[in-house]
Structure 1
Amino acid sequence: MDDKQLQRGDEVTSALEKAIQESRIFITVLSENYAPSSFCLNELAYILKFIKGKGLLVLPVFHSVDPSDLRYQRGSIGEALANHEKKLSTNSMEKLETWKIALHQISNISGYHWKNGNDYEYEFIKKIVEMVLRKINRAPLYVADYPVGLESQVLKVKLLLDVGYDEVVHMVGIHGIGGVGKTTLSVAVYNSIADHFEAICFLENVREASNKHGLPHLQRNLLFETVGEKEIKFTSVKQGISIIQHRLEQKKILLVVDDVNKQEQLQAIVGRPTWFGRGSRVIITTRDKQLLACHSVKRTYEVKELNDHDALQLLRWNAFKFENVDPRYTYVLNRAVTYASGLPLALEVIGSNLLGKSTEQWISTLNQYERIPNKEIQEKLKVSYDALEEDEQNVFLDIACCFKKHDLADVEEILRAHHGHCIKHHIGVLVEKSLIKISFDGKVTLHDL
C-alpha cells in the first residue's frame, strides 16, 4: 500500500520494501488502458523476486488484457516497454530485461480475468474482495505447543513445493518413522502457504479414517472443503474419482493427505497431477516411502529425529513449561533424552507424564519405561509393525533382538538359512516402512524404541 509516508520514485524504497514484507496479499492490476511506469515495473520485479519461499500471495487481475500479451509483451504493454527502452540508457538494458521477466512471470500466475461484456465490473470486483476476505479471515490449523526444530524443516519442504511457480502441479512426500513429527511438519507448511491457493484441504489420519468410514467419505470431505458442496452424492470410489477430476481440474488447490498407508488411498484421493489446476500442490505424509515411489512422487523429504540440543529443549518445555530448569534435574533430563532417542512423540509423552514430579519420581518412571515401554508411545510405533506380513514381522524381531548394528551382509547370510532368498525382499520392506535403516557403512540400525 502506498501511503503518504512512502515517497514515490523509480526505485523500491526501504519503507515500501518493509510494507511489502509485512503484507500477506499482493494484488497487481494489469490493464490495457494503463501503461506501467518504471516505478510499478520495479515494484513488480522486486515482489516476484521476494515471494520465493515467503508467505506472500500474488494475485494478478487482468483487466481487458490477455495474459499472453503480457507473456510475450505484445499490444499496449509492448508499446509501453518500447517507450521505456527509448528513454533508458545502454547501461540500463539489464533493468528492462528484469521487467520483461517479471511480466512473463505474472502472466503465468493464475488470477482473475475480466473481459468487457463478460459481466459487470462491480460483480468482478466483488469476487476479488470476497476471495481476499476468505483468505485473511482463515484460521490456521493447530501445529504444536512447542514447535522446537520445526522452522528449518518447514523451509526445506517449501523449497521442494516451489510455491509461486504456477506452470506445474507438484506432489511432495514427507516420510519417516511413527512419532517423528510428519503431521506436525505438514500442518506448519500448510499454514505458511495456504494463502497462495484458491482452495485448501487437510485430510488428517487417512489410514484411520479410510478404515472406519471408507474412501468415498474422504473423497466427499475433499470436495466439500475445496468446492463447498455438502450434498455431493456418489456410491463408489470410481464415481468419486470422476467428480474430483471434473470439479478440481481448473482449481489451484493445496491438499495435504496425512498418514497414508495404502496405494488405493492415493489413487482415490490424489490420482495424477492432471486432476488439479495449474499451480496446485499436494503434500503426502506416510511411514512407507515405497508408496511415494509407486505413486511417482519424486520430491520427498525424510523427517529425522531431533538432535540432542532440540530434544532437550522440547523435553524441558513439556516437563516444566519453561526453558531454564533447576540443575538438579540435569541427570534425569539427559537420561530421558537418551531413552527417547530424538523421537518427539516420546519426549512429549515423557515430559507431560512427569510434569511437576520430583527427581526421584523421574528416576522411578524411567526405570519402569526401560522395563516396560510406555503404552501411549508403543501403540503409535506398533502401527508399522502390525501392518507387516508375518515373515516380515519375524525378520524385524530377529534384527531388533539380535542383529542391531551388525553388517547387512552378515545379517542376510544368517537369516537366509530360515527365510531363503526372500530375505533381501523382507529387509527391503522394513527399510521402506521406516522400521530399520542401513547406515552409510552398511550396518543395520533401528530406533531404540
Structure 2
Amino acid sequence: MASSSSSSLSPRNINKYDVFLSFRGEDTRDNFTSHLYSALSLKSIQTFIDDQLNRGDEISQSLVYAIENSAISLIIFSEGYASSRWCLDELVKILQCKREYAQIVIPVFYRVDPSDVRNQTGPFGDSFSKLEERFKENSEKLKSWRNALKEAASFSGFDSQNFRLESELIKKAVHHILKRLAEMSPCNYKNQLVGVESRVKEIESLLGAESKYVYTLGIWGFGGIGKTTIARAIFDKISSNFEGSCFLQNVREESQRPGGLAYLRQELFSKLLKEENVILDIDLNFRRLSSRKVLIVFDDVTCFNQVESLIRSLDWFMPESQIIITTRDKQILRNWGVKKIYEMKALMFNHALELFSRHAFRQNYPDVGYEELSRKVMEYAQGVPLALKVLGCFLFEREKEVWEDAINKLRRILHPSIQEVLKLSYDGLDDKEKNIFLDVACFLNGEDIYSVMKFLDTSGFYPEIGISVLIDKSLIVVSCNKITMHDLLQGLGREIVQQESINRGNRSRLWHHEDIYEVLTHNMVCNNEFGRLTIITNLRYRIVSELSI
C-alpha cells in the first residue's frame, strides 16, 4: 500500500470521501458490505457506497468522481467480483488514482483465496472466464482487467479466512482505516505541532503499562505549558482503538457556567454512546458504558468534584478503558488515584525556536538579522509554548527597533494574554498561599528552602502546607534545597503587586533597587510591611553594597 509520506505528496490533500467501497452487489450488498458500511459510519468515516442496482454499459461520471475524491479505496473481492465489468472498470480506475494521487488501496478477500484473485483461478477465475467469453474480441480491455486483478491482489489487505467471525474482520478493517486516515491527515500533529512526537511516545508507553483495569493518567503542569495540546495529540492518535471516545475540553470554564456540568455530562454520554439525542437517564447510560472500552480526556480540571460529578466513579467503566486528566494541580490526580502522572516540561531550545518562528516569521527559523533578537525572546519565554505563540504573533512583521523595545518592556511587564492564563492558578490560592507566592516572586526565588521556611513561618503563613500546595499547582519547584520559580510566574507575581499598588495607592513589596532606595531614604511607607521588607531584603540583597548608601 502507499505509504503515509507519499500520500502527503498527493495533489488531492482534501477529499470528499474517506473511503470508496468497491464490491459486487449481488454477492455482498445485503450482508458483509452493509455491515462494514454501518461500522464505518459509526466511526464517522465518510464512505461512498453505490446503492444503484442497475448500471449502464460504462461506470458513471459520478462514480469516477467518487473514486477520484476518496482517500482510500476498499475493494471487497468476492467470488462473483470478476464477473462484473463495472467492478473491474472501477478497479482499473482505482489503481489509476493510486498512481496519480497516491490513493491508498486496501483489498478484502471475502471467501476467496488471494492467489485465485491474483491468477484468476479457482471459483473466482471461473467467474472471470464467463466475462472473458463476452469480451474476447476486446483483448486490450481483458489485459487491463487481468493486470488490475494481479496488481490489487498483491497489496496487503484482509483475508476473511483468517477470521473466525465476520465481526472481527470488520472491526480490524475499520481500525486499520482509521489509522491510515490519521497518518495522511493534513492536521496530523506531526505536521502541525512542534516538539510533540517524542512526548506522545512517552505518554503512550505509560498508557500501555496496564490493561486489565480502567487506566488513569494525569498530565500535569502550569498554565500555558502545553497540556491540552499533548492530550489532544494523544487522543487523536489512539481514540480509534476504543469503542467510544470523548475529549471534554475546558472543564473548568464550562463547569462554572449555569448548567455547565449537566451540559458536559450530556456531551460525554453522547460522544461515548454515539447518540446525538442520548436518553437523560444517568444510571442507564453508565450501565450501557460498562460493556464498552472507552477513552475519555478531561481537560483543565481544577477540582475533584468536577470529574466526580461527571462520572461518579471509575467502577462504571469496562476494564481496558482509559481516562486522561490534564490539570495544574497534582492533588486532584492523587485524589483520583491516578496510576501515572506525566509532568509537562518546557520545550527544548530548538523546538522552542521553531514554534516561535512559525508565529513570528511564518517559517521554521528566524529571518536573517533577527537571530539575536529571537534568542532574547527564547531567554524570556524559557520554552513555554503559550508565551512563544503569543510573543511570536505580537512581534510578527514589526521592525527591529520595536522588537528591542518590546523585549525590554516584557522584562518589566508581563504580556496581558500570558498573564491571563497564568493568573488562573494564582486566583485558586487562599490568602496565605497568595502571600507565599508573591514573596517568592518578589524576593525569595533561588533562596535556601530552610531559610525561606523559617521566614515564612515567622510571618504566620503556615509554610509547610503553603509550599506543598504551590508545588502541587506547579507554581514553584524545590530542588537541591533551593526554592525556584519560572521567570514567567515570577513576572506574574510582580505584575500582581504592581497592579495592587495602582489600585490601593501603596505597595506591599519592593524588589527593584530604585524603589527600595526611595523607601529607605525618604521614609516612605510600604503598606505597613516595612519590617518584613527589611528582613526580606537582608535575606536576599546586600543593600548597602548594591545601592552604595
TM-score, with length taken from structure 2 = 0.56
Counterpart for residue 254 of structure 2: 209
Map 1:187-266 onto structure 2 (within 5 A). Answer: 187-212=232-257, 213-232=259-278, 234=280, 240=282, 242-266=283-307
Instruction: Give the CA deviation at 1:364.
Output: 1.5
Change (3 A) 1:268 1:27: farther
Distance 1:150 1:279, change over 3 A: same
Query: Retained in 2: the 8 A contact 1:142–1:187?
Result: no
Q: Secondary structure at the match of 2:323?
A: strand
CA distance 1:23–1:252, change in 2 (3 Å)? farther
Does the 8 A contact of 2:449 with 2:478 survive in 1?
yes
Where do 1:86-125 residues align within 5 Å?
112=167
Distance 1:126 1:427, change over 3 A: closer
Deviations 1:150-194 (A, max 9, x none): 11100000011118x753321111000100000000011111112
- Structure-2 change in CA distance of 1:134 and 1:60 (3 Å): farther
1:444 aligns with 2:489: no
Q: Contact between 1:259 and 1:286, CA under 8 Å: does it hold in 2?
A: yes
Aligned pairs, number: 339
Partners of 2:346 and 2:247 in 1: CA distance:
24
For 1:21-420, what aligned pairs fall within 5 Å after superposition?
63=164, 112=167, 146-162=192-208, 166-212=211-257, 213-232=259-278, 234=280, 240=282, 242-419=283-460
- Residues 414 and 23 of structure 1, relative CA distance in 2, 3 Å threshold: farther
Instruction: Spell out structure 1 runs of 4+ moving beyond 4 A.
Output: 22-29, 59-62, 125-146
**Whole-angstrom distance in 2 between the partners of 1:140 and 1:206:** 28
Relative to the length of structure 1, the TM-score reads 0.68
Candidates 428, 437, 444, aligned match of 2:468: 428
Distance in 1, matches of 2:213 and 2:107, equals 21
Structure-2 change in CA distance of 1:255 and 1:142 (3 Å):
farther
Deviations 1:250-287 (A, max 9, x none): 11111111000010112123444332223211111000
SS at match of 2:217: strand
Q: 1:25 to 1:382 in 2, by over 3 A?
A: farther
- 1:143 touches 1:184 (CA, 8 Å); kept in 2? no
Q: Distance in 1 between matches of 2:390 and 2:333?
A: 30
The answer as to whether partners of 2:353 and 2:365 remain within 8 angstroms in 1 is no
Q: Aligned partners of 2:361, 2:465: CA distance in 1, in Å?
A: 46
Spell out, residue by residue over 1:292-324, the C-alpha distance to the aligned partner (whole angstroms, 9 max, x if none).
Answer: 011100211000011222212211121111234
* Superposed displacement of residue 352, structure 1: 0.9
Amino acid at match of 1:326: D
* Kept after mapping to 1: 8 A contact 2:244/2:274: no
Contact 1:178 1:381 in 2 (8 A): yes
Q: Cα distance 1:366–1:246, how it changes in 2: closer, same or farther (>3 A)? A: same
- Tell me the alpha carbon deviations over residues 109-151 of structure 1, each in whole angstroms, 9 at most, x when there is no partner: xx957xxxxxxxxxxx888878887887788978598411111
Q: How many percent identity over aligned positions? A: 36
RMSD: 3.5
**Could you say what secondary structure the match of 1:259 adopts?**
strand
Asked if the contact 1:259–1:284 (Cα under 8 Å) also holds between the matched residues in 2, the reply is: yes
For the Cα contact (< 8 Å) 2:220–2:330, is it kept in 1?
Answer: yes
Q: Using a 3 Å threshold, how does the CA distance of structure 1 residues 143 and 217 change in structure 2: closer, same or farther? A: farther
Report the Cα distance in structure 1 between the residues aligned to 2:409 and 2:191, rounded to whole angstroms: 27
Which amino acid counterpart does residue 482 of structure 2 have in structure 1? K
Higher CA-based Rg:
2
Report the AA paired with residue 434 of structure 1. Answer: S
Q: Deviations over 1:234-257 (max 9, x none)?
A: 4xxxx63x3442121111111111
Distance 1:216 1:24 in 2: 44
CA distance in 2 between partners of 1:293 and 1:312 (Å): 35
Quick one: distance in 1 between partners of 2:174 and 2:448?
A: 61
- Seen in structure 2, the aligned counterparts of structure 1 residues 227 and 146 have a Cα distance that, compared at 3 Å, is closer
Give the structure 2 partner of residue 80 of structure 1. Answer: none
Q: 1:324 to 1:347 in 2, by over 3 A?
A: closer
Mark the CA change 1:398 to 1:23 in structure 2 (over 3 Å): closer, same or farther: farther
The answer to whether the 8 A contact 2:349-2:383 is kept is yes
Task: Give the gaps of 5 or more residues in structure 1.
Answer: 4-21, 32-58, 65-110, 114-124
- 2:295 alignment partner AA: L
- What amino acid sits opposite 2:415 in the alignment? N
Please name the residue that 1:99 is paired with: none
Q: Which amino acid aligns with 1:397?
A: L
CA contact (8 A) 2:248 2:297 kept: yes
Which one-letter code corresponds to 1:161 in the other structure? Answer: L
Give the letter for the 2:231 counterpart.
Answer: S
Equivalent residues of 1:170, 1:273 under 8 A apart: no
